[in-house]
Structure 1
Amino acid sequence: MKTWIDGRIVDAADATVNVADHGLLYGDGIFEGLRVIAGRVFRIERHLARLQVGAKAIGLELPRSPDALREIVEETARAHGEREAYVRLVVTRGVGPLGVDPTTCERPGLFCIVGAIRLFSDEQRRRGLDLITSSHRRPNADALDMRVKSLNYLGSALAKLEARQRGADDALLLNARGHVAEASVANVFTLHGDVLSTPPATDGCLEGINRAAVMQIARSIGLEVRERSLGRLDFFGADEAFLTGSGAGVIAMRSLDGRTLGAGEQGPVTARLTALHRRLAETEGSEILPASKGQS
């Protein structure tokens, strides 16, 4: 694992963050999670555009230009040296005195981590995921807009913990109105016939980069794609259901709260979308880590 911090790339074990950083103390900051797939950083421009919007939303000035941030991501990925990796680009409010006041921080903090990530095993990907409905709720957008990828992921962590303690792989989170928002750290989709549905951002989900890619792919193969409010019943009645995310990729759901979804395994449309998503990521954008001899 490699980390860019303070203008240099070091092993993660040698990277240090000041304990007075408000990102650590108060979750005051934003981040982007990106994937390196087949030596390419998937849709880096869209990630950086979302980072800029998030920074503006919380009144944080990015310490580098988008071009400089892109260079940091790509340089760190090259230093890591693996054609399959996960990237975490983090911008904090910066170091300041104790107290939540953001104006006491002189300048933002910035670091980039590149390493391996394995949210789910090969067996889980083959069989699909078992989910529960979490008792934790997504806040309304007027309280905390989930379209901003802030450093406060406590709700997601508690939902994941609840799922693991109940013997499940992950959890669905509902909003205050009882509509499905998303999984702990992934967007969700249901398929009914040739209609693919996913919750709108107004229901408390992140407007995921991979979510948008899957919607694009689905339309290209003739599916009707709708952003609409979903309840648990929509999952129980679905032919197929799956998650998407930078860490998760595309992965099927096989059950919810102990009830089988669809055929209880990865369905043919999910399998096709998974393959097409992978193909898109393998060919889109510039290759920053060429394959070695003998690789394809």
Structure 2
Amino acid sequence: MAEQYVYIDGNFVPRSKASISVFDHGFLYGDGVFEGIRAYNGYVFKLKEHIDRLYASARTIMLNIPMTKEELSRAVVETLKKNSLKDAYVRLIVTRGEGDLGLDPRKCKKPSVIIIAGSITLLPKEVCERGIRTIISWVRRDPVDGTSHEVKSLNYLNSILAKLDANAYNADEAILLTPNGYVCEGTAENIFLVKNGEIFTPPTYTGALPGITRQVIMEIAEKNGLKTREKLITVHELFNADEIFFTGTGAEIIPVVEVNGRTIGDGKPGKITRLIREEFQKYTAEPSNGVPIL
């Protein structure tokens, strides 16, 4: 098996030797931002949108990325080329950099940029095709008046606690509610439900991430004549949905067939979910939606 290389601050380092300082504030405090990006058949999917979102996250936490958007985009492509990957998952990370054991960001003189390219399998293919079992976690999504939910920060403890909850109940995934009890999202996915042929998803002001895949799905639905709108979703509406599915860069489209022991629809992925999955696969295969790995 060929050696995997990781991009660290302008250099390609073999995976076995890839490291950062134990004093890096990304490691010590989760002080940094990241993006998960996909490459399909030699094209980096929605690279510009991911880079733009990364810079927006960094701006909010006053983190100066030491590269231009164009340089960072090239670095993503070069990392894929270095690893001879055409279909891959890319984790792009920017940390505050090395500091000391104190919190003060002024001690961190230079941010670090790390790019990891490889594969990701959130769930076995057969599980995704038949649909997944979920629970509503006791963990509530962090309130939006705290750390901005639009920042993809390195601190995912809120989601990890919910994932542990799902594991404890032998469920495939957890659904998080807002502090007020409305449906928000999965641990790392946006959520959609279908009722009477109409598609609904929680608005981002609930704390749901403004996902790039989420936006693509809404565009696909519209092109296929499906009405899609944002609305506050109650647990009652979730239990009584005809169909439910998750979306995300890593997840792509995952049907949900059970919530808290309640069967959704007929217990199988619904026709609208199947249509969305098929159209999404076509969308990702279209070269115009990506940047070539040349």
Scaled by the length of structure 2, what TM-score is found?
Answer: 0.96
- CA offsets, 1:148-184, max 9 Å, x none? 0000001111111110111100000011100111001
Please give the residue correspondences for 1:3-14 in structure 2 after superposition, counting only pairs within 5 Å.
Answer: 3-14=6-17
Aligned equivalents of 2:257, 2:81: Cα separation in 1:
37
Partner of 1:286: 291
Larger deviation, residues 22-31 vs 79-88:
79-88
- CA offsets, 1:240-285, max 9 Å, x none? 1100001100010000001101111111111111111111111122
RMSD: 1.1
Post-superposition shift, 1:13?
Answer: 2.0
Question: In the alignment, does 2:264 pair up with 1:258?
Answer: no
Partner of 2:140: 137
Larger deviation, residues 29-38 vs 80-89:
80-89
Aligned equivalents of 1:124, 1:153: Cα separation in 2:
25
Post-superposition shift, 1:66?
Answer: 0.3
Aligned equivalents of 1:161, 1:37: Cα separation in 2:
31
Please give the residue correspondences for 1:201-240 in structure 2 after superposition, counting only pairs within 5 Å.
Answer: 201-240=204-243
Aligned equivalents of 1:14, 1:148: Cα separation in 2:
30
Unaligned ranges ≥5, structure 2: none
Identity in percent: 41
Please give the residue correspondences for 1:131-210 in structure 2 after superposition, counting only pairs within 5 Å.
Answer: 131-210=134-213
Post-superposition shift, 1:139?
Answer: 1.4
Partner of 2:99: 96
Partner of 2:120: 117
Aligned equivalents of 1:224, 1:120: Cα separation in 2:
29
The secondary structure found in structure 1 opposite 2:62 is: coil
- CA offsets, 1:169-221, max 9 Å, x none? 00000111001110011000001123111111111111000000000000100
Aligned equivalents of 1:221, 1:112: Cα separation in 2:
36
Aligned equivalents of 2:85, 2:275: Cα separation in 1:
26
Post-superposition shift, 1:26?
Answer: 0.3
Aligned equivalents of 2:75, 2:292: Cα separation in 1:
15
Aligned equivalents of 1:195, 1:189: Cα separation in 2:
10
Match of 1:80 among 74, 80, 83: 83
Partner of 2:249: 246
The secondary structure found in structure 2 opposite 1:83 is: coil
Give 4+ residue runs of structure 1 displaced > 6 Å after superposition.
Answer: none
The secondary structure found in structure 2 opposite 1:286 is: strand
Post-superposition shift, 1:64?
Answer: 0.5
Post-superposition shift, 1:122?
Answer: 1.2
Q: CA contact under 8 A between 1:2 and 1:115: conserved in structure 2? A: no
2:202 maps to a residue whose letter is P
- CA offsets, 1:27-76, max 9 Å, x none? 00000001111221110000011111111100111110000010011111
Larger deviation, residues 10-19 vs 104-113:
10-19
Aligned equivalents of 2:49, 2:84: Cα separation in 1:
23
Aligned equivalents of 2:120, 2:137: Cα separation in 1:
24
Aligned equivalents of 1:266, 1:124: Cα separation in 2:
11
Post-superposition shift, 1:144?
Answer: 1.8
Aligned equivalents of 1:239, 1:159: Cα separation in 2:
25
1:180 maps to a residue whose letter is V
Q: CA contact under 8 A between 2:163 and 2:187: conserved in structure 1? A: yes
- CA offsets, 1:103-157, max 9 Å, x none? 2111111100001100010111111010001111111111122110000001111
The secondary structure found in structure 1 opposite 2:213 is: helix
1:217 maps to a residue whose letter is I
2:283 maps to a residue whose letter is L
Aligned equivalents of 1:78, 1:274: Cα separation in 2:
28
The secondary structure found in structure 2 opposite 1:67 is: helix
The secondary structure found in structure 1 opposite 2:291 is: coil
